[in-house]
Amino acid sequence: NAAAERIYAEGENRPKIAFGPHDEIYVSWSQPRAKPWTGFVRFARSLDRGEHFSDPLTVHHDRAEITHRFDALVVDGKGRIVIAWIDKRDLLAADAHGKPYLGAAIYYSWSDDGGARFVPERKLIDQSCECCRIALARTPDGEVAAFFRGIYGDNIRDHAYAVLRTDGQTSPVARATFSDWQIAGCPHHGPGLAIGGDGTRHAVWYEAKGQPTIWYGQLDPGHAPKHPLAIAGAGASHADVAAHGRTAWVAWNQVGADGYTLMLRRSTDNGAHFDVPREIARSSGAAGSPQLLLKQGRAFVAWNTATGFRLVELPQ
């Protein structure tokens, strides 16, 4: 930015980057406001491969000093920029009328003109988790799907799935995990989503009913996930997933007495089976959440640690 501004940079709420069909660079982030736990979702773009960036704009039309945070960014198959975030305007409205309201809501917006402006935001669903990141992924037909932690009944924190419609139609939301984990607060563990060319919805998520577990499964919205697998247990956190062809990768942080270990499991049969966990990097200091990346069929994991940024290429 030409003028510096504060940003949120924690594991669940870090800046995002995406690329347009003609080498445009898009960046979104959450900007802290004066009141605690408040924020605006901000956006900037470069049309010259990063030489210059536009002045940042605020994505949402609502300007109340409340939570608009935990943004997620993706570009759809038509080059449309889609941003989703967690929003507390409906919580405040309910409080003002003395009505109960658990959690927050998911809102989203999009830009049809390469990020020059964004349409008025739409609410996807009420009662989402307050601070678990949203996972976005592009479907084979170019639409954008969202996978996020919702709240069901009395603080059951399971996940939901929806396609974010940009044609004026309603976006149906379906429950997608059924662990029935009850917790009266946000666990700060958002999910991951990768959709294969055949439409398989590879997903990872965290829950701690009984014992902490990172799960892998293939989403079947409205029903329990297919091929569920406990990827990792105690000490594991903040997993991500990627898929290319019939190969799927899951990476996560494993915390121990000596620091953080970056762990990986791989499937070569479209998620039906995974190999044993393997260590691919280690940090004696703090470490951010791993992010899996694909480029021309090659897979990488980006890992930011107290000793520096690492980009690790993964086995095919």
Which pLDDT score, from 0 to 100, does residue 218 have? 99
* CA nearest to 79, candidates 123, 47, 41, 36: 47
> pTM, whole model, 2 decimals?
0.97
Q: How far is 255 from 121, CA to CA, in rounded Å?
A: 38
At the top level of CATH, which class does the domain 191-316 belong to? mainly beta
Q: Is the pLDDT of residue 3 over 90?
A: no
Q: Is the pLDDT of residue 22 over 90?
A: yes
Q: How far is 29 from 232, CA to CA, in rounded Å?
A: 30
Type of residue at 28: S
pLDDT digits (tens, 9 = 90+) for 142-180: 999 999 999 999 999 999 999 999 999 999 999 999 999
Percent of the chain's residues with pLDDT above 70: 100
Half-sphere exposure (Cβ direction) of 257: Cα atoms closer than 13 Å? 0
Which pLDDT score, from 0 to 100, does residue 10 have? 86
b vs e for 210-248, b when ≥16 Cβ sit within 10 Å of the residue's Cβ? eebbbbbbbbebeeebebebebbeeebbbbbbbbbeebb
Q: How far is 5 from 2, CA to CA, in rounded Å?
A: 9
Three-class DSSP category at 214: strand
Band of pLDDT at residue 209, cut at 50, 70 and 90? very high
Which pLDDT score, from 0 to 100, does residue 282 have? 95
Mean pLDDT of 114-140: 98
Lowest mean pLDDT: which of 118-122, 270-274, 306-310? 306-310
Q: Is the pLDDT of residue 315 over 90?
A: no
Q: Is the pLDDT of residue 14 over 90?
A: yes
Band of pLDDT at residue 184, cut at 50, 70 and 90? very high
Which pLDDT score, from 0 to 100, does residue 17 have? 98
More confident residue, 204 or 316: 204
Which pLDDT score, from 0 to 100, does residue 1 have? 82
End-to-end CA distance of the chain: 37
Q: Are 73 and 54 in contact (CB under 8 A)?
A: no
Three-class DSSP category at 93: helix
Indicate where the chain has its CATH 2.115.10.20 domain(s): 191-316
Mean pLDDT of 125-147: 98
Indicate where the chain has its CATH 2.120.10.10 domain(s): 1-142
Phi, psi (rounded to 5 degrees) for 95: -60, -40
Mean pLDDT of 25-36: 97
Band of pLDDT at residue 2, cut at 50, 70 and 90? confident
Mean pLDDT of 294-313: 95
Cβ neighbours for 167, distance < 8 A, ≥ 6 positions apart: none
Q: How far is 45 from 24, CA to CA, in rounded Å?
A: 7
Cβ neighbours for 194, distance < 8 A, ≥ 6 positions apart: 137, 202, 203, 241, 242, 243, 248, 292
Q: Which residues pair with 150 in a beta bridge?
A: 128
Q: Is the pLDDT of residue 34 over 90?
A: yes
* Residue 76 structure tokens: 């759809």
Please give the mean pLDDT across all residues of the chain: 97
Band of pLDDT at residue 213, cut at 50, 70 and 90? very high
Q: What is the CATH number of domain 1-142?
A: 2.120.10.10
Which pLDDT score, from 0 to 100, does residue 82 have? 99
Mean pLDDT of 94-115: 98
